[in-house]
Amino acid sequence: MRQRIDVPVPMRDGVCLSTDIRFPETPDPCPVILIRTPYNNAAFSGEEAAYVAAGYVVAKQDCRGRFDSDGSFNPLVEPEDGHDTIAWIHAQPWCNGRIGMTGNSYCAITQLSAAWTRPPGLDAISPGVMGNDFFKGLVYHNGVFNLSLAIGWGTGVAGRTGQGNETTDWERVFNHLPLITMDEAAGYRLDYFREWLEHPTYDEYWAASSVERHFSDMDVPAFHIGGWYDMYAAGTLRNFCGLRSSGGGRARGNQKVMIGPWVHGINTRVAGQIDFGEEATVPLEMLRWRWLDRWLKDDANGIDDEAPVRLFVMGVNRWQNEQTWPLERGRERAWHLASRGAANSLHGDGLLTTESVQHTDTDTYLYNPAEPVPTLGGGCLRAPAGPTDHQPIERRDDVLVFTSDWLQEPLEVIGNVRSVLYVASDAVDTDVVARLCDVFPDGRSIILCDGIVRARFREGLDREVMMAPGKVYELTVDMGVTANVFLPGHRLRLEVTSSCFPRFARNLNTGEPAATGTRMQTARQTIHHSAAHPSRLILPVVPAAPSGR
């Protein structure tokens, strides 16, 4: 292996980005694999060494303003640097004109944002664990500030090198108000963190960097990889669907996706509190390698003939192949909320039923932003992430708990989950969190997926419209995606509450701007469920087992 370390690759504005390049032992031009990272290009993995041994040039670059690269780091803004780097590589005598990209998380951002600029020679990408829009599912989640990610990750990439934050008092930082000075509370001054907060609605600032807005501009084959407990699970699937249906040129029809039972750190057997068995791990490096070989070397390795969708179905813990997402044979089934008015906590009388509720009833709880419901597992970066027992949370009176009867037959749920809730509050603005759990025979209530809606965005993410206190509103909560078989002897459970902290920033219930608000108000929340207000959980149910598993 030959190498050139710290090669200065010039960008259009004259800034040079440090790029380490490894070459196979051949004088001939070769296909190139590019990895652009903010996490130090000096780390060279065994997988990358194997690419070189297989005849690829591997170019690994520090993003602008990180480690050995010049300039200032502006998180999430990568299109131009990606385009210019690929154009530079394409013009080098050691490149045969064919370039691919790979990597997870932020390294997936660098792939997707470069792809929509259509740089010369970019023939394949393999983005892992990344979503479709930074306002809808990264810095914000459908308008709610992704607090622990924004401040935790945001401080971690402050400066040129990684920040460990071992001495940061996170409890104090997370509770700091106003949000706009939370960076100072952590000991930093982060212009990008404040810039994110200064754009609290979906405007051109967010649209310009949206992957989904650029689907039609992308003409590259892509192999998408995600995890059911990754915070970007739904976005990973939206990228697959969007490029498959709306991408240009080679993108249409040349997309594949694999979703495992994983958190943001993919390809593990154990996630959270669940061991998914030996099948949960796959030869992921080999799968990516086959994808790159197909598009960069024209290797007839049969990958074109394989199913475009490969999913791990939890509960039965097995992989299955599909031709579409969502599954064509999936059917939406509604589970209605019912109670005698006391669904508070798992000790209450909340019920999920497939029968329509004919009587009129409501459930109420008090949401106090000063004592929010804590984050416990699920799709988050902070530990513990993944499938986690939610009984500690379900013992709280500010959590409504609706549980089905014991199942007599397996119930296979694969697809997008949502709930439609009829909500009234005595506040002008508030949040509603809905969460689906699989209740095991021993009582464990394992989170599958969840979502949050901020009432002020009920008419669109581009505008803030306050509530009339006491008025009933229909709110749809997008609860993300899952693939799970609820086994006989298990039960379904829906939690309804108003906070998941510190994963999401607290709604203070006062209607103040999210960035500068400091005044808290306890809100009385009322969930209506009746014939007139049919609050319900909507599940994508697979009515029969697919053939050819």
Cα–Cα dist 427/179, whole Å: 20
Our answer to whether residue 6 is catalytic in this structure is no
C-alpha 336/C-alpha 358 separation (Å) is 11
Q: Comparing C-alpha atoms, which of 335, 315, 313, 314 is closest to residue 546?
A: 313
- Is 336 annotated as catalytic? no
105 is catalytic: yes
Q: Which among 358, 115, 365, 378 is positioned nearest to 222, based on CA atoms?
A: 115
Decide: helix, strand or coil at residue 149: helix
> Which is nearest to 78 in space by CA: 130, 124, 26?
130
Question: Smallest Cα–Cα separation from 38: which of 133, 106, 128?
Answer: 106
- DSSP-derived pairing of the beta strands 30-37 and 95-104: parallel
**Crossing angle, helix 106-115 and helix 79-90, to 10 degrees?**
70
Token pair recorded at residue 164: 């460990």
Q: Which two tokens stand for residue 147?
A: 């607090």
Catalytic residue among 141, 214, 264, 528: 264
Q: Letter for the amino acid at 408?
A: Q
Tokens of 125: 């990408």
Query: Which one is catalytic: 18, 69, 105, 445?
Result: 105
Catalytic residue among 81, 123, 219, 230: 230
Please tell me the distance from the alpha carbon of residue 546 to that of residue 46, in angstroms, as a whole number: 38
- Count of CB atoms situated within 10 Å of the CB of 91: 11
CA 98 to CA 33: how far, in whole Å? 9
Give catalytic residues, as residue numbers. 105, 230, 264
